Amino acid sequence: MQLGAVLPTDDLPTDAGAVRAFAQGLEALGFGYLSVFDHVVNASSAHYDREVLKGPYREDNVFRDPFVLFGFLAGVTRALAFATNILVVSQRQTVLVAKQAAEVDILSGGGRLRIGLGTGWNYVEYESLGMSFADRGAMLEEQIAVLRKLWTEPLVHFEGRFHRIMHAGLNPMPLTRPIPIWLGGTSDPVIRRVGRTADGWMPLFPQLDKTPGAIKRTAEWLEPEVAMARMRAEALKAGRDPAAIGVEGRITYLGDEPEAWRAIRDIHRANGAGYITIMMKPGLVQGVDPILAALERVKRALSS
């Protein structure tokens, strides 16, 4: 299994030196990839005048632009791979996303980028970017097809509900054709979409990381075994090999709990995960060296 880590943006300084030191330290520890969350703007908790935002992030959380960040890190690392988990792609211009991802792929030498996509939950962010929150699911469906065309065809002709590209294309094109597209989430539409079209899946099972030292399974969350069975059934229905769809699990660091880490790893492994991403719970550990030390402890525990 490949091990990766989420960039702990809330607990690192925002300067270039800290980001570089973290990525280089992660690579030196033998981690395979760096994963980055995505929000363009944060919504304040002070102005909700409609539906209350249910997501976990507010105006004081820190987010970096994934493509600018990966372009910078491609030049200061050698083999560390990069993943978005997830890029809220339905609020972005698809052709621009294709261009930015292609540039990262070129600058990193090819094969180091996975694009995890999703629709997000923040209607304020969609409005700020001038995009339709109501159409986000349908938009994502069409974006997947457009991205793959732009990454594999020098000139693209596409007319859909949201896109009109008349014999235009990227130059330079990416080295990886197409760049792998993964999807995040565990809703029924996401599971169907993964089975039909995705290269990989980044599901979240919050019951696996709610309590330090314990794995709690409750009826409110979808069981990993159930989710995987549904996804594989959708893949078979679409005429695809379920084994060809990558799966990424997640372990949240809530303190030094090596037995819990191994137990969660075993659940993900049993459900076909080839990737495990370590996420530091915000606020527990601050600074480049302390966070890298904690990640090293997790890696050592998972290697045993």
Task: Look at residue 84 and tell me whether its pLDDT is greater than 70.
Answer: yes
Q: In whole numbers, what is the pLDDT of the chain averaged over residues?
A: 93
Give this prediction's pTM.
0.94
**Domain locations in the chain?**
2-302
Whole-number pLDDT of residue 206: 81
Task: Look at residue 114 and tell me whether its pLDDT is greater than 80.
Answer: yes
Whole-number pLDDT of residue 53: 74
Backbone φ, ψ for residue 85 (5° rounding): -145, 80
Task: For 246-292, write each residue's pLDDT tens digit.
Answer: 999 999 999 999 999 999 999 999 999 999 999 999 999 999 999 99
Backbone φ, ψ for residue 235 (5° rounding): -65, -45
33 near 2, Cβ under 8 Å? yes
Distance of alpha carbon 177 from alpha carbon 174, whole angstroms: 6
Cross-strand partners of 280 = 253
Whole-number pLDDT of residue 82: 98
- Mean per-residue pLDDT, 234-256: 97
- Topology of the domain comprising 2-302: TIM Barrel (3.20.20)
Task: For 214-232, write each residue's pLDDT tens digit.
Answer: 445 544 568 899 999 999 9
